[in-house]
Structures are given as C-alpha cells and as structure tokens.
Amino acid sequence: MGFNMTKTEKLAIIDVKAELKLLPMVLHAVREVSQKYGLEEKYARDLELATEEACHNVIEHAYPDNEKGYYQVEIHKEPTKFVITVKDQGIPFNLNLLTDEQPTDLGIKIMRAYTDEINSKYLGKEGKEVELVKYLPFEPIEEPEHPIEEELLAPKSEEISLRIMRPDETVALARCIYKVYGYTYPHEDIYYPQKFSSLIESGLVTSCVTVNSKDDVIGHLGVFLENPDDLVGESALAAVDSRYRGRGIFPKMKNLMMEHVQKKGLLGLYSRAVTVHVASQKSNVKMGAKETGFVLAHSPPTAIFKKMEASSGSNRRTVALFYVPVAPDPGHNVFLPLKHGDILKKIYNHGELKRTFNQSSNEGLSFHSQIHSHLLPEMSSAFLRVNKFGIDFLDELKLQVNDLCYRHVELIVLDLPLSDPATALLCPEIEDLGFFFSGLMPEYLDGDALRLQYLNNVIFNPEDVQVYSEFGKDIFSYVVEEWKSKNYY
C-alpha cells in the first residue's frame, strides 16, 4: 500500500512437551526475547512470572493421568505492547475464571497482577488459548504547573500552516489536546507522547497538524488504521485550539489528509461525528462525506468541547458514522440480509457506491471462525470483526458476548463481511442474541461490512441525539426502531 508500516512481529514460537522440567527453557526465552526487543528488565520479569503461571496451569491440569501432551508459546510484539499466547489441546478449562472480579485461584491472581490485560478463548478442536498482554511503559504528559487560561482569539493576521506531523511533535500535540479536551478524550494514547510516537512510526497512525507562527501545534487530524492491511482509515482526533476557530482549519486538514492517504493507497476514510451538537456532522457533509449509520451510546459522557455549547448529561453519547471515498470506487459483489436490504441499498445509493447485489447461498463453512476482538476498557466498549465464518461461529460469538457482559462491557460492536454470503444467512440468528442494525462500513472488511451493535444495561434516550441532515434522520430513525425491537427501553 505504500505506508511504512510495522506489522505485528512474531518473535518466537515454541512447541514444548507439557513437562515441568522444560518450563525454565520457555521462561528464559520469554525473558530474553522480550528484553532484546525493548521491554525493560522489570517488565520482562513481570511477563515471565505471568507466563510461568499460565504454562504451569497447562502442565498440571491440561493433560491428566500421565497423558502425553504439548503446548505452544508464542511471543509477539505490537507497536505498544508485548503479547504472550499460550495454547494447548488439553482438557477444557473454565476460562471465565480468568476474568472473575475476585479470583480465588492464586495462579490467576498472579497472572492478573503481572499483566495489563488477559484474553482467552476456546478454539474448538484446536483446544484453547490464553493471551497475556504487557503494555510498553510510556510516560504520560505532565500536568501543567498552572492551568492553561482561556485566551482571546489570535490575530487573524497571524500566519498558520498545515503539514504532516512528525513523531517528535507528540508532546506539543498532547498539549493542544489538553487545551481542547482537558484529560477527557476517550483514547488515552494521546496523553502518552512516546506511545503515540510509536504508533506514528509504525504506520498505524498518520496525522497532520496546523502550526502557528511560533510553530506551536494549534490543530490536529489523524488517520488511524486498526490493522496494517486495512484499505480504509478512521479520520479521528480532530482538534482546533479555540483561539484559532473560525478560520476553516478543519476542512483544510481533512483535504490534506484525503490527498495524503489517497497517494498511500487507501480507498476512503470513515469518521464518527458527535451528536450532542450538529457542528461536526455539518462539517463532514460539507466535505462530501455521507452518513452510513449511527452507533447508539457509543462513548462515555466524559469528553468536553471548550468554547462549544453541548448538552450535559450522564448517559453515553451517540455518534453518526460517515464515509468519504478518496479513490475511485472499485465496486463489489455483496450479499445483503433480507431484513436490512432496503436501508442498505439507500445508503449505497446516497453514497454513490456501485454494488452488485447477489443472492445468498448456503455454502459450506470451515470449522473454525476467526473473530478479531479489540477491547477498549476506558470506553467500556469492545469492537468485534469477523474475518471468517465457521460452523462454530454462533457458539464462539455467544461465548465472547457472555464474557464481555460478565466483565460489564457496555457496548459491543460487531462488523460482518458483506462479501460473504454467510453474513446474510446468519444475520437473523445473530440478531436473536440481542444485536441490532447500526449501519454500513464501506471497504472495511476486504469489501464492505454490516455493522451491528449490542448494548449491555445501557440507558439511551433518542431525544438526546441531534442529527444534521434529512438523510441522517432517516437512518437514525431506522436504527432507533431496531433498538426498540430488542426491548432495550
């Protein structure tokens, strides 16, 4: 694609017989490899201790009665974290114990104490896996010694300029974000300059900044990729210093990023516009972006927008989904669920996206599903994307939903590939689990994605939502009716 991206690095894969005498070799590898690739000694030791408990659990309990068995330990590094995955094909273990709020098992307590995140799942006939995550340590931006005072508008004669952001400007960016949002912006990465620099260097984030005559960052817009191979990015983290509002900075930054990512091979940008006011929705429409859906109760009510009026409240806030192409539409074959076919065709037509609508067929499925899960604890949200359907899909989805609800995750977003006929066939059964229609994500899953969502004991009031355009109001009404059909209210 052209981005200088660093994909997830698989550093080591160890297949080992489930015997205690071989465990020191595994632990030595975890410690040495993680330190060689940038993890400080004390954090490498934490990861080693957690891995010891996970492996010991397999050795002691996965293969009873002297049954010979093996397990696999995989070490890989991502831009902001190290991950150890322990897989085995032994006797099933109650993975829900790993997420108990008050675990009684000492080994689980140790794993929880020495990691930042634990993920686990069943793999059908391939057994089960436990994923131990240790975030790379980054220093947060320091609290200003004195509160940043409200300032008058900057002179309109002052020159400002736009350019692509450098990785060494993340401290200046964090200060700009602080002026706009305080410490309330939902994605915490922005408050860790070193961490955000790492994301830029990896290619998962590309940003542009607006700077003033003193070279201070007074505006920012980023494009975020979840995976290096994604063909669409999210336009997010838009901020303009209140002293420089009214100069059309946001449209200029959006134009710059659209041109930049088009040269890098992306097909389009999607964005999420807040609905506590219509300003950001209006800006998206003026830039040629089209509404494709709404995520109800998307984020906690923490973000503030200085110098902008917004209704207050304690409920989660809804966002409008927008998409704008930056390259010629390649066209796709899609399989639409019968229930949502009309609204999806309206969205395609409004967005001027050419699609061929195919009839679903009951094609054979592989055994294993592939569901990618991205948990955002600070937002009490989880984003699931289906990369492949298998005959175990509904069972696997039920397990993940039950686990997330048990952990009090309030919002679950599920993206299904419309290029796969299984999406149309399985959609009714997925919605029987409590999911409901949220919108369309063009070019999101090697084609397009149908977005569904699930709310877990969340208060939502449609009257709190402000929608800018008439087409947006039509989509919002459809989503609300689908929400009501689940007896959430």
Question: At residue 484, does pLDDT exceed 80?
Answer: yes
Domain 332-485 in CATH 3.40.630.30: yes
Q: What is the pLDDT of residue 180?
A: 81
Q: Which residues of 456-477 are buried (b: 16+ CB within 10 A; e: fewer)?
A: beeebebebbbbbbebbeebbe
Confidence of residue 99 (pLDDT cuts 50, 70, 90): low
List the beta bridge partners of residue 220: 209, 239
How do the domains of the chain map onto residue ranges? Answer: 9-135, 161-322, 332-485
User: For residue range 131-156, what is the model confidence (pLDDT) as tens digits?
Assistant: 898 887 766 555 555 444 445 788 88
**42-78: pLDDT as tens digits:** 888 888 988 998 898 888 888 877 778 999 999 998 8
Give the DSSP per-residue string, 33-98.
HHHHTT--HHHHHHHHHHHHHHHHHHHHHTS-TT---EEEEEEEEETTEEEEEEEE-SS---GGGG
Alpha-carbon span 388 to 55, nearest angstrom: 29
Q: Angle formed by the axes of helices 393-406 and 421-432, to 10°?
A: 40
Per DSSP, 306 falls in state T
Cβ–Cβ under 8 Å, residues 415 and 370: no
How far does Cα 343 stand from its chain's mean position?
Answer: 25
Across 1-5, 98-102, 299-303, the highest mean pLDDT is recorded for 299-303
Q: For 117-128, what is the mean pLDDT?
A: 80
Q: Does the pLDDT at position 389 exceed 60?
A: yes
Tokens of 252: 């200029």
Which of 3.40.1710.10, 3.40.630.30, 3.40.50.720, 1.10.10.10 is the CATH number of 161-322? 3.40.630.30
Q: Which CATH number fits domain 9-135: 3.30.10.20, 3.30.565.10, 3.10.20.90, 3.40.50.720?
A: 3.30.565.10
Q: Please give the share of the chain, as a percent, with pLDDT higher than 70.
A: 88
Number of alpha carbons in the 13 Å side-chain half-sphere of residue 338: 7
> Using the 8-state DSSP alphabet, how is residue 111 labeled?
H
pLDDT value, residue 1: 40
CA dist 383 and 393 (Å) reads 16
Q: Do 9-135 and 161-322 show the same overall fold?
A: no
